[in-house]
Chain A
Amino acid sequence: MQPLQRVTAPTVEVLRALLDAGDPVWGLRLVKATGRPAGSVYPILSRLEESGWLVGHWEDDTTRDGPRRRLYRFTADGAPAAREVVAAFEARRAPAGYWSPVIPGGAT
């Protein structure tokens, strides 16, 4: 698994939503859960998958016709690393509630 080069607020929100869900999550449900546009969430999922944090797989629902939904879950190393990233991100938030959009240097 490769470390993330930069961790942005949307990335943290996606990681947090996946952690909260516990089970594999439909990609579009992460768009809904984070409130971020799909234009932000899709590239984040792609990047996390390429970096070995997530693995995508097709839903196993034979009762619904049509194209299959793509579900995402953490890899074995991805879940603990995500918890660290989310915790580190939260720790860097200023007490007044200022939300830093980018952590330079990322989660390495």
Chain B
Amino acid sequence: MLRLIAASLPAARRADRLEEWLADLEGSRELGLSRRTVVLGALRLGLTENRVARLRPRTWLVGGAAALGIIVLGVPTVAIGGTIVDSARGVVTVERSADGTEQTVSWRDYPGVGGADPAEALTGPTAEEGVRLGEAITAEIRAALDLDWTEEDGGQVYFPAENRYGGLSMLVTVNTPAWLSATAPQDAERAMDVVRGILDSHGFTAPVLVHNDAKTTSGLAAGPAGQWVSFTWSSASVVVSYGANALLPAADRAEFERRLAPFLTYAQPAPLAS
């Protein structure tokens, strides 16, 4: 299981993380800790470290479209405009009007996440609704597969998200506790069909499956507004978890709209590399 989780990490971190987890697994008994806590901890860290990678394809798509917008559409009120990146100011849009006046907008203060449509944060589920949805979906999957399940020990559910322009977003990343089964379904294909049906009923895509080796499969299903359900399926167990990359806490809606408004005039610059 640890090797499987490590395989999903960026290559630069894979070997170190795996060795650390294996040493922790070996030493867990010495500290009176369960081996399960190490596995679930690794799973949580794997999900955390993969969040950016999961955003990447969509980010490039939206970022590319935004860049195209700058070139093709322009911004009618701006006589000469441009996006500048420098180490002192970060990402800024400089607007020069016909009369020569200049206004600078710093994207470090952007309340959304670069590369993502901010409208999704307002029309999609709130962070709290996301957590409830994640709990509902994983509950449905657990009930349908009828296995003996254990929930990962409680911990942090909401994580701060960076705005990808050098600042902190008002949106949060959600990772609900993972569920681990004591056994695996006898009929894996039928069970996978059941999971597909549940995910489809909630507007999630069919899981993209990665066969890590002969015995283990990882899957990731994408939902609306950057939500996802991840699972790892082996001959011994199933691990299911829910997360979302950038959801807005309900209480922050008005402030988010207030801080977002000045940026809506401008095309989103390409996010900084992450």
Contact = CB atoms under 8 A, between A and B. Distances in A.
Interface residues of B, number: 33
A71 to B, nearest CB: 10
Given A39-B155, A40-B156, A32 B24 contact: no
A15 interface: no
B48 interface: yes
B262 interface: no
B241 to A, nearest CB: 10
B156 A31 contact: no
- Interface of chain A, main secondary structure: helix
Given A10-B155, A31-B37, A38 B42 contact: yes
Interface in A1-55: 5-6, 8, 10, 26-29, 31-32, 36-43, 46
Interface string B10-51: 000000100110111011100111000110111111001100
B153 interface: yes
B45 A69 contact: no
Q: Which of A36, A38, A68 has the most CB of B within 10 A?
A: A38
Interface string B185-229: 000000000000000000000000000000000000000000000
A103 B144 CA distance: 40
A67 interface: yes
Given A28-B33, A31-B37, A46-B49, A37 B27 contact: no
Given A67-B19, A67-B22, A68-B19, A39 B27 contact: no
Interface string A68-104: 1110000000000000000000000000000000000
B41 A42 contact: yes
A72 B45 CA distance: 16
B155 A37 contact: yes
A40 B48 CA distance: 11
A39 B168 contact: no
A69 to B, nearest CB: 5
A69 B43 CA distance: 18
B118 interface: no
Contacts of A8: 156
Q: Which of B38, B40, B156, B177 has the most CB of A within 10 A?
A: B156
22 contacts: A6-B160, A10-B156, A28-B31, A29-B31, A37-B44, A39-B37, A39-B40, A39-B41, A39-B43, A39-B44, A39-B45, A39-B155, A39-B178, A40-B155, A40-B156, A42-B45, A46-B45, A66-B26, A68-B19, A69-B23, A69-B24, A70-B16
Given A40-B156, A69-B24, 19 more contacts: A5-B162, A8-B156, A10-B155, A28-B27, A28-B31, A31-B37, A32-B32, A37-B152, A37-B153, A38-B24, A38-B44, A39-B153, A41-B41, A43-B48, A46-B49, A66-B26, A68-B19, A70-B16, A70-B23
